[in-house]
Structure 1
Amino acid sequence: MRYLAFDLGAESGRAIIGTLEDARLTLEEIYRFPNEPVRIPDGLHWDVLRLFHEMKEGLRRATARYGTGLKSLAVDTWGVDFGLLGEKDVLLGNPYHYRDDRTRGVMEEAFKVVPREEIFSQTGIQFMPINSLYQLLAWRQQQPAMLSQAQTLLMMPDLFNFFFTGIKAGEFTNASTTQMYNPRTGTWATGMLEKLGLPVAILPAINPPGTIVGPLLPRVARETGAGEIAVIAPGSHDTASAVAAVPATGPDYMYISCGTWSLVGVEVREPVINEQTLSLNFTNEGGVGGTFRLLKNVTGLWLVQECRRAWARRGEELSYGELTALAREASPLTAVIDPDHPAFLNPEDMPAAIQAYCRETGQPVPQTKGEIVRCALESLALKYRWVLEKLEGILGKELPVIHMVGGGTRNELLCRFTASATGRPVVAGPVEATAAGNLLVQAMAMGEVGSLNEARKIVRRSFALKTYEAEKTDVWEEKYEAFIRLLG
């Protein structure tokens, strides 16, 4: 059978065909399009109508190639961002981008009404100013008249499903990222939200991953030539889809889903919400197959992406491969940064921000492009070790292997650094884990794959994996001690 995955990331979107045959999955990227946020006077927005136009073009191309051979489609995106629908399902403006600064200070204001401990007890979610909870509070504070018009809140993949089908429904994995969902009760945290003065009536019903949302709207089917294919909610949070495609053979491993963000964690059967996970600011997000993802959001290759963008603005265009090659030749472990320091959330000039941080913390200041990129990559690897140690402490057991999936596995330097920093073998791949997980959940919904374990067996058969072993761990040990002091 053939399925179509729309995988939308912070930089681009892809339409990928998955063909499942003889217990092997093959992928074919049929269309790629940019995902560029747009800044207008009121803030930074996603260009959601352009994205849907591009998705329809991807569906048109898939249909032109395979006709009625497509069984379904599914959309996954990043978390936390949402659109609001008003009367007659009118979209109330383009959704805000999570890096827009209108949520500055909102989280601290929320704690004055509902204590931090109560919010975590209700939701189990890591505190970040980008969370949907604080975005919605920003709406209430800054645009109350428009919020009063809202009748439905839809997370980004749910919004695209609505555009495709006309059906308004939520999905578990993305709902769980909002800090508005209670994973213990399996419902929205309505009591907490009402204390904060937020409208709970706008929140949709929540479906599990693998739910068939409905057929395409007739006009979308006509525009694209697709006919009556099913639209399925996969693990619609991209990390949930990526983790579904982790090719693990047992329960004792840590995963790193690495792209713009690094999602570093483990899969558990129940959320872990206690004083320890609160103090460490860990998060419990929904997974596929009745699982939860106990993890830490770590700034990922955003650091390198923004360096590359800054240099391009100066007329210095370099590919990621060229930047990695420069980093490989730079001196090792001269300076480190905390990737999650607020200075790196959305600076105007990332290279300058990295240099300023090193200068202010009394370290050698990286000067060349290679030194700056190497500093970023080594710092990520050290942060991964910090998360690994904390997870082992929470679970009371060793995690002897790391599975790294996603686009970040193309960066062999980061994979090698991660193995050396953690002292664990790193199994890298598949690169297209998110699309693979999306497609395999579709196959589960259509009855072609029986379980999550079966899906992972298919991943192991279908994709090349590469293992990296630790090197020169004594040098990394010394730098890790300095990194810990940096974190305070």
Structure 2
Amino acid sequence: MSATSRHDPVFAAVDLGATSGRVITGRVSPDELVLTEVHRFANTPVRLPDGLRWDVLSLYQGMLDGLRAAARSGPVTSVGIDTWAVDYGLLDSDGALLGLPFHYRDGRNASASDAVLAVCGAQELYAVSGLQHLPFNTVFQLAAHRSTAQWEAARTLLLMPDLLVYWLTGTVGAEVTNASTTGLFDARTGTWSDALIGRLGLERSLFPPLREPGDPAGTLLPHVSEFTGLPAGTPVTAVASHDTASAVAAVPASEPGFAYVSCGTWSLAGLELDAPVLSEESRAANFTNERGVDGTVRYLRNIMGMWLLEECRRTWEREGGSPSLAGLLADAARARPFAAVIDPDDPVFLAPGDMPSRIDAVLTGTGQAPPDGPGGYVRCVLESLALAHRRTLRRAAQLAGRELSRIHLVGGGSRNELLCQWTADATGLPVTAGPAEATALGNVLLQARAHGLVGGTADTRRLVARTQELRHYTPQGDPGAWDRAADRLGPARV
């Protein structure tokens, strides 16, 4: 294989997660795909008197600093941005941001869905949007926002990646993979649902024109070029701006019947389909139909992911401990199997705070003994996540009429060997783990594709499989033990 050189095109991927942001450069050639992290910065929400907000100005500055670092590494062909879903900023008639965007974990969302469901029933919403009911879906957040003075002054709504693109370029748009998470997007037509928007009394003019992954999204404004050192006219490319959509685009799958788990703060577990599944049975099972690349559908459920483990670690650190992840995983491997099982989707785990105490309360309430040390908690969390992966993927396959052949586990969770092995054991399916940087890879590859350097999804997935480190896990142990634990987990929450 040929080695990459400094003459190969370089793409800057801005990848913002729930706890940190990064700018990564990707150098692409026909046989090589090399990522380099050039800047990392914290994403720390701010609790203000009116609620939990994203410090989007700090994120924007971190992004600019990262682009400046990218410029120092060599010529950059284009820039792409991906973030989490559902959250948004409002602009006034002058294009100015009206306050810091609310955080999806803010408590105002807990009861906001009632106002929406009083107008549009759950069946009607699902028949159009195909979206999993989550209390923080954009459509419900808007109901909580409408009583504010900010709402009265709002003229444009921009989801988080679209807001950052607007600040870089001055152009307004809504990329479809993120737009599909709002609850106001038509899963069949791939357009905004004017009918739902009208029924809910929202102004259609709030919602900007849609962009597909790979569409041009403008060029850097002069002051951005001056600060970053990137040339004037450097293009910004719309990628799959929902981070999960970018991650799925980089799944190194070659066989039909694959399932995926994009595992980070959340575990997004599901299938890639050609058309949405909008049946009443699918709605009752609370599966979502979100847009993917090339008009595909990401048919999945959100599962509370590594958030459970990270919140445990933060609690232990606040209490004076400093347990390393490696040490915790070693202790978990030695802990007693299936001593305790929780449902990761229990809403009690959603908010920040003392996670071990909440796990204790759930276990006590279900007649189980709390773990006697950090290793026990970690084993409880990871086994429960593996069981949730099993429950979700088996149900998705059933609803979509699919046979599953393999699970691709991508994202940060793919580095966790216990989680990968236990997912294989729980499901009885082989697991391919990696790439860990699937989101950034998808971001870079979609930019490269837009610039004619790689082919379609099958080509990009083959490139990922050839160039990235992957690990393979086969089912081991006693399947009956996992079956019995799955009975304790119970059915999925709806």
Is the Cα–Cα contact under 8 Å of residues 256 and 264 in structure 1 kept in the other structure? yes
Partner residue of 1:138?
144
Q: How does 1:144-293 map to 2 (within 5 A)?
A: 145-227=149-231, 228-293=233-298
What secondary structure sits across from 1:356 in the alignment?
Answer: helix
What secondary structure sits across from 1:89 in the alignment?
Answer: coil
User: Could you tell me how far 1:433 is from its partner in structure 2?
Assistant: 0.3
Alignment partner of 2:19 out of 11, 29, 32:
11
Partner residue of 1:115?
121
Deviations 1:348-375 (A, max 9, x none): 2100000110000111221211111111
User: Could you tell me how far 1:185 is from its partner in structure 2?
Assistant: 2.3
User: Could you tell me how far 1:317 is from its partner in structure 2?
Assistant: 1.7
Is the Cα–Cα contact under 8 Å of residues 403 and 427 in structure 1 kept in the other structure? yes
Deviations 1:65-87 (A, max 9, x none): 21xx2100100000000010002
Correspondence 1:431 to 2:439 = no
Farther off after superposition, 393-402 or 210-219:
393-402
Is the Cα–Cα contact under 8 Å of residues 137 and 198 in structure 1 kept in the other structure? no
Is the Cα–Cα contact under 8 Å of residues 77 and 237 in structure 1 kept in the other structure? yes
Partner residue of 1:298?
303
- Quote the Cα distance in structure 2 between the aligned partners of 1:374 and 1:358: 14
Alignment partner of 2:364 out of 355, 359, 384:
359
Partner residue of 1:89?
95
Instruction: Output the amino acid matched with 1:28.
Output: T
Deviations 1:59-118 (A, max 9, x none): 11111121xx21001000000000100021010001010000111111123212111100
Runs of 4+ in 1 over 6 A off after TM superposition: 485-488
Normalising by structure 1, we get a TM-score of 0.97
Instruction: Output the amino acid matched with 1:417.
Output: W
What secondary structure sits across from 2:131 in the alignment?
Answer: coil
User: Could you tell me how far 1:400 is from its partner in structure 2?
Assistant: 1.6
Q: How does 1:30-109 map to 2 (within 5 A)?
A: 30-66=38-74, 69-109=75-115
Is the Cα–Cα contact under 8 Å of residues 271 and 299 in structure 2 kept in the other structure? yes
Is the Cα–Cα contact under 8 Å of residues 405 and 428 in structure 1 kept in the other structure? yes
- Quote the Cα distance in structure 2 between the aligned partners of 1:83 and 1:4: 24
User: Could you tell me how far 1:200 is from its partner in structure 2?
Assistant: 2.2
User: Could you tell me how far 1:443 is from its partner in structure 2?
Assistant: 0.5
Is the Cα–Cα contact under 8 Å of residues 433 and 470 in structure 2 kept in the other structure? yes
Deviations 1:439-466 (A, max 9, x none): 0000011111121111101101110111
Alignment partner of 1:378 out of 375, 383, 393:
383
Instruction: Output the amino acid matched with 1:105.
Output: S
Normalising by structure 2, we get a TM-score of 0.96
Partner residue of 2:455?
450
Instruction: Output the amino acid matched with 1:216.
Output: L
Q: How does 1:305-344 map to 2 (within 5 A)?
A: 305-344=310-349
User: Could you tell me how far 1:257 is from its partner in structure 2?
Assistant: 0.2
User: Could you tell me how far 1:471 is from its partner in structure 2?
Assistant: 1.4
User: Could you tell me how far 1:487 is from its partner in structure 2?
Assistant: 6.2
User: Could you tell me how far 1:482 is from its partner in structure 2?
Assistant: 1.9
- Quote the Cα distance in structure 2 between the aligned partners of 1:196 and 1:342: 26
Q: Percent of counterpart pairs with the same letter?
A: 47
Is the Cα–Cα contact under 8 Å of residues 347 and 353 in structure 1 kept in the other structure? no
- Runs (5+) with no aligned partner, structure 2: 1-8
- Quote the Cα distance in structure 2 between the aligned partners of 1:300 and 1:362: 24
Instruction: Output the amino acid matched with 2:223.
Output: R
Partner residue of 2:482?
476
What secondary structure sits across from 2:293 in the alignment?
Answer: coil
Instruction: Output the amino acid matched with 2:21.
Output: G
Partner residue of 1:394?
399
Alignment partner of 2:135 out of 126, 129, 133:
129
Instruction: Output the amino acid matched with 2:325.
Output: Y
Instruction: Output the amino acid matched with 1:153.
Output: L
- Runs (5+) with no aligned partner, structure 1: none
Instruction: Output the amino acid matched with 1:335.
Output: A
Is the Cα–Cα contact under 8 Å of residues 241 and 438 in structure 1 kept in the other structure? yes
- Quote the Cα distance in structure 2 between the aligned partners of 1:447 and 1:407: 29
Instruction: Output the amino acid matched with 1:396.
Output: G
- Quote the Cα distance in structure 2 between the aligned partners of 1:16 and 1:319: 26
- Quote the Cα distance in structure 1 between the aligned partners of 2:492 and 2:420: 23
User: Could you tell me how far 1:12 is from its partner in structure 2?
Assistant: 0.6
What secondary structure sits across from 1:113 in the alignment?
Answer: coil
Deviations 1:244-299 (A, max 9, x none): 00000022111000000000011011111111210100000010122110011111
Alignment partner of 1:422 out of 416, 427, 435:
427
What secondary structure sits across from 2:117 in the alignment?
Answer: helix
Is the Cα–Cα contact under 8 Å of residues 265 and 295 in structure 1 kept in the other structure? yes
Farther off after superposition, 328-337 or 125-134:
328-337
Is the Cα–Cα contact under 8 Å of residues 346 and 493 in structure 2 kept in the other structure? no
User: Could you tell me how far 1:347 is from its partner in structure 2?
Assistant: 4.8
Is the Cα–Cα contact under 8 Å of residues 29 and 453 in structure 2 kept in the other structure? no
- Quote the Cα distance in structure 1 between the aligned partners of 2:207 and 2:238: 17
User: Could you tell me how far 1:396 is from its partner in structure 2?
Assistant: 2.3
Instruction: Output the amino acid matched with 1:225.
Output: G
Is the Cα–Cα contact under 8 Å of residues 217 and 235 in structure 2 kept in the other structure? yes
Is the Cα–Cα contact under 8 Å of residues 405 and 430 in structure 1 kept in the other structure? yes
What secondary structure sits across from 1:87 in the alignment?
Answer: coil
Quick one: structure 1 residues 109 and 139, their matched pair in 2 at CA, closer, same or farther if it must change by over 3 Å?
A: same
What secondary structure sits across from 2:310 in the alignment?
Answer: helix
Size of the aligned set, in residue pairs, is 484
Is the Cα–Cα contact under 8 Å of residues 345 and 493 in structure 2 kept in the other structure? no
User: Could you tell me how far 1:188 is from its partner in structure 2?
Assistant: 1.4
Q: Please give the root-mean-square deviation of Cα atoms over the aligned residues, in Å.
A: 1.3
What secondary structure sits across from 2:378 in the alignment?
Answer: helix
Instruction: Output the amino acid matched with 1:195.
Output: R
Deviations 1:143-199 (A, max 9, x none): 1x2201111100000000001001011100000011111121222122222222222
Is the Cα–Cα contact under 8 Å of residues 340 and 369 in structure 2 kept in the other structure? yes
User: Could you tell me how far 1:395 is from its partner in structure 2?
Assistant: 2.4
User: Could you tell me how far 1:335 is from its partner in structure 2?
Assistant: 1.1
- Quote the Cα distance in structure 2 between the aligned partners of 1:151 and 1:251: 44
Farther off after superposition, 337-346 or 388-397:
388-397
